[in-house]
Amino acid sequence: MKIAELARRTGFSKHALRYYERIGLLPRVTRDGARHRDYDPSIVAWLGFLRRLKTTGMPVREMRRYAALRSGGPETIAARRAMLEAHRCRVHTDIAELQACLVILDTKIAGYAGDSQGMTDHDVSNDRDGDPIRAGLAKPRGDRRARG
């Protein structure tokens, strides 16, 4: 499979695919006669998995570590599992945090009066902003970014 096809099938750009190879996320790619990359179809599944890791916020350096372990053969299985378990735990935490924020968001939206008919001056309580339940702030632990 050529790079354009792989890009199409995985949703990664050709540039990103070469970049991933450079940094060691993808294994040694075979080349055809013209020294063009000729991917094994199994790479699609691996990239699919990488996308899951990425979606769940795993930093690239950690994916690299995982990829390195993977290419290290069966003796790295325990380490790989440990990584995934740790990651799963973080994802759980992230989801919980997101859900907590959703509640706040809902409250805030509800505070902006009921529907499009209202919106009179006496309803400006939301200009106070902040968390109507408790202004919980705490430390910066986990953040989330990017949409595109």
Give yes or no for residue 81 binding DNA (CB under 7 A): no
Give yes or no for residue 18 binding its own copies (CB under 8 A): no
Q: Give dist(CA 74, CA 77) in Å, integer.
A: 5
- Smallest distance from DNA to CB 141, Å: 12
Opening angle at CA 72, ends 69 and 76, nearest 5: 60
Give yes or no for residue 92 binding DNA (CB under 7 A): no
Binding residue (CB under 8 A) for its own copies from 22, 28, 61, 135? 135
Long-range contact list for 10-19, CB < 8 A, 24+ apart?
A: 10/44, 10/47, 10/48, 10/51, 11/51, 12/47, 12/51, 17/47
Binding residue (CB under 7 A) for DNA from 28, 35, 128, 141? 35
Give yes or no for residue 53 binding DNA (CB under 7 A): no
Give yes or no for residue 112 binding its own copies (CB under 8 A): yes
The interface partner of residue 19, options being DNA, its own copies, none and the CB cut-off 5 to 8 Å by kind, is DNA
142 neighbors 94 (Cβ within 8 angstroms) = yes
90 neighbors 59 (Cβ within 8 angstroms) = no
Binding residue (CB under 7 A) for DNA from 24, 46, 60, 104? 60
Give yes or no for residue 68 binding DNA (CB under 7 A): no
